[in-house]
Amino acid sequence: MNFRRFSIFAFLLLLIYSCRKEDKFTDSPDARLSLSSDSVLFDTVFTSINSTTQQIQVFNYNKNAVRISEIRLAGGSASPFQLNINGTAAISLGSIELRGNDSLNVFIKVMINPTTGNLPFFVKDSITFLTNGNKQTVHLRAVGQNAHILKDAVISQNTLWDNKIPYLIYNTLRVSSNSTLTIPAGTKAYFHKDSKMQVDGTLIVNGTLTDSVVFASDRLERIYRDEPGQWTGLHFTGTSKDNKIIYAVIKNGITGIQCDSLAASSPKLLVANTTIKNMQVAGFAGYKTNITAFNNVFFNCGQYLLYGAFGGDYNLKQNTFANYSNSFPRRTPSLFFTDVDPSTSKTAALSGNLVNNIIWGSLAEEIAVEKKGTSVSLSFQNNFIKTSNASFAQGGNILNTDPQFISYRDNNYRLSPSSPALNKGANLSTDPYYNQYLKTDKAGKTRLFPSEPGAYEAQ
């Protein structure tokens, strides 16, 4: 019975549809199309790599239907751009009927051939729409960039990269044991989805105040600019040693830096004047490791800004740790230290010296120390800390007093002129790293003692 009713209903629908009056078309030159945009710009596109797809919507806001005589890619088959017009891949399509108050979609991609140049360059074309004698144009623009493409590459000897064009990394780039990769100022290393750098040997990053080294995702479109989780991160394995990262930006990955085990020569990793941001899990994750870090800004990560497990040694001075992101439902403190191995529940010696840092964020507790063994020796001095744990209220630490960043919403973590942190830092002029890293702040300004906690001196 139900099937019979359905059959009758379907027949009636078919009858109504077949009896629909033929669409009335207008050939008036006043019946123009409405386009969602008159130009399409693709941000930097690496040569030989397809871009993301962008879209133009074409509207007919007229009461009657129109016939679009032609939609054409002006550059034809020689164009680096590709069109898909309402589901049809074509460089030109004609006699397109578009009903009144209806629309169609034009999808656009670009793939740019390599050149011999080092600098970014423009490519351009246009799409023309011809309707009732009216010619309408959408301009297409893309920025092309040549790149070194490394897929499952292994660096098995001492290697110096150049900074002329970016490096585009697929899957894993591995620096083998007893090999050193040196990266000069201004170099950009872009990682495809889920890709990483694995350092079994040594990594030396020599950025400068005016020319940082960048580690980021290969998605350079504006909508991905602050999107976390796009690549895996930098992984320093058990055999890695003598690593330095100076003046770098590490952003938009899963874990910015993962560092495994102690090194025979300390520190295993030195990080200075570097920004680590927008990580899905952690800015830095250490497992029984030793790290020295000065003048760095860690901000807006999904769980931790710095996670130190199974002991290790942490020398952290003049760093800004700020975790405000609304992108993550975070319930973990920005800094977490434990002497426990989370996989085995064993303990190991945990030591560290944290001086003149700002540890702040949107949670009530932004630092936690878990002690299960007997060999824990962490010293905290002259830090600004957000916590209800009164045990931190010694050594010149200041608890739960807002350091007053200029604008955390704009990721400006300099201190305001009225900050209560002014002149609250300890004197580090006798520190063995003073002349090389602590004499100036992240912006190159001379540090005057009593200094300000965090990566920046007051302006």
The percent of residues in the chain predicted with pLDDT above 90, rounded, is: 88
For residue 404, the tally of other CB atoms under 10 A from its CB is: 14
Q: What pLDDT band is residue 302 in, cutting at 50, 70 and 90?
A: very high
- Please enumerate in sequence order all residues whose Cβ is within 8 A of that of 232, keeping only pairs 6 or more positions apart, or say none: 191, 194, 195, 196, 253, 254, 255
Of the CA atoms within 13 Å of residue 320, those in its CB half-sphere come to 29
- pLDDT at residue 6 in the model: 53
3-state secondary structure of 70: strand
- DSSP tally for the chain: helices H, then strands E: 1, 39
Q: Is residue 399 within 8 Å of 365, Cβ to Cβ?
A: no
For residue 459, the tally of other CB atoms under 10 A from its CB is: 10
Are 180 and 246 within one domain? yes
Find the CATH number of the domain harbouring 424. 2.160.20
- pLDDT at residue 23 in the model: 74
- pLDDT at residue 19 in the model: 41
Q: In whole angstroms, what is the distance from residue 100 CA to residue 24 CA?
A: 9
Q: Average of pLDDT values for 358-371?
A: 97
Residue 188 inside a domain? The answer is: yes
Number of compact structural domains in the chain: 2
Q: In whole angstroms, what is the distance from residue 248 CA to residue 209 CA?
A: 9
Residue 220 inside a domain? The answer is: yes
pLDDT in tens, 144-200: 999 999 999 999 999 999 999 999 999 999 999 999 999 999 999 999 999 999 999
- pLDDT at residue 276 in the model: 98
Residue 244 inside a domain? The answer is: yes
- pLDDT at residue 327 in the model: 74
Q: In whole angstroms, what is the distance from residue 169 CA to residue 156 CA?
A: 16
Of the CA atoms within 13 Å of residue 248, those in its CB half-sphere come to 26
Residue 3 inside a domain? The answer is: no
Are 247 and 393 within one domain? yes
Element (H, E) at 354: strand 350-355
Are 126 and 156 within one domain? no
Are 283 and 343 within one domain? yes
Residue 16 inside a domain? The answer is: no
Instruction: Indicate the residue among 111, 144, 177 that finishes a domain.
Output: 144
Are 184 and 288 within one domain? yes
- pLDDT at residue 1 in the model: 47
Of the CA atoms within 13 Å of residue 337, those in its CB half-sphere come to 26
Are 260 and 404 within one domain? yes
- pLDDT at residue 22 in the model: 59
Nearest Cα neighbor of 107 from 173, 49, 50 is: 50
The DSSP symbol for 20 reads: P
Beta bridge partners of 277: 251, 299
Query: Residue 14 above 70 pLDDT?
Result: no
Residues in the chain: 459
Are 134 and 244 within one domain? no
Q: What pLDDT band is residue 20 in, cutting at 50, 70 and 90?
A: very low
What is the full DSSP assignment across 179-235? Answer: -EEEEETT-EEEE-TT-EEEESSEEEEE-BTTB-EEEEES--SGGGTT-S-SS-EEE
**Strands, E, within 18-133: which ranges?**
34-35, 39-46, 54-60, 66-73, 81-85, 88-89, 92-98, 102-110, 121-131
pLDDT in tens, 392-451: 999 999 999 999 999 999 999 999 999 999 999 999 999 999 999 999 999 999 999 999
Are 179 and 292 within one domain? yes
Quote the mean pLDDT of the chain: 93
Measure CA 43 to chain center: 15
Instruction: Indicate the residue among 118, 144, 170 that finishes a domain.
Output: 144
Query: Residue 21 above 50 pLDDT?
Result: no
pTM, two decimal places: 0.89
- pLDDT at residue 347 in the model: 94
Query: Residue 12 above 70 pLDDT?
Result: no
User: Residue 380 — φ and ψ, nearest 5°?
Assistant: -125, 125
Residue 93 inside a domain? The answer is: yes
- pLDDT at residue 39 in the model: 97
CA atoms 215, 218, 224, 227: torsion sign: negative
Element (H, E) at 155: strand 154-155
Measure CA 73 to chain center: 34
For residue 96 the two structure tokens come to 């397109």
Are 139 and 163 within one domain? no
Q: What pLDDT band is residue 265 in, cutting at 50, 70 and 90?
A: confident
Are 292 and 419 within one domain? yes
Q: In whole angstroms, what is the distance from residue 159 CA to residue 315 CA?
A: 29
Q: Is residue 129 within 8 Å of 68, Cβ to Cβ?
A: yes
User: Residue 361 — φ and ψ, nearest 5°?
Assistant: 170, -165
Are 115 and 171 within one domain? no
Full domain range(s) for residue 125: 34-144
CA angle 385, 387, 388 (to 5 degrees): 140
Query: Residue 91 above 50 pLDDT?
Result: yes
Are 199 and 140 within one domain? no
CA angle 159, 164, 167 (to 5 degrees): 60
- Spell out a b/e string for 354-387, using b for 16 or more CB atoms within 10 Å of the CB, else e: bbbbbbbbbbeebbebeeeeeebebebbbbbbbb
Query: Residue 16 above 50 pLDDT?
Result: no
Instruction: Indicate the residue among 144, 173, 190 that finishes a domain.
Output: 144
CA angle 279, 384, 351 (to 5 degrees): 75
Beta bridge partners of 213: 248
Give the CA distances from residue 147 to residues 162, 167, 267, in Å, rounded to whole numbers and listed in that order. 11, 6, 33
- pLDDT at residue 4 in the model: 55
Q: What pLDDT band is residue 15 in, cutting at 50, 70 and 90?
A: very low
Q: Average of pLDDT values for 74-103?
A: 96
- Please enumerate in sequence order all residues whose Cβ is within 8 A of that of 205, keeping only pairs 6 or more positions apart, or say none: 183, 213, 244, 245, 246, 247, 248
Query: Residue 325 above 90 pLDDT?
Result: no
pLDDT in tens, 368-378: 999 998 899 99
Find the CATH number of the domain harbouring 38. 2.60.40.10
Residue 8 inside a domain? The answer is: no
CA angle 30, 35, 41 (to 5 degrees): 145
Q: In whole angstroms, what is the distance from residue 238 CA to residue 177 CA?
A: 10
The percent of residues in the chain predicted with pLDDT above 70, rounded, is: 95
Residue 41 inside a domain? The answer is: yes
Q: Average of pLDDT values for 5-25?
A: 56
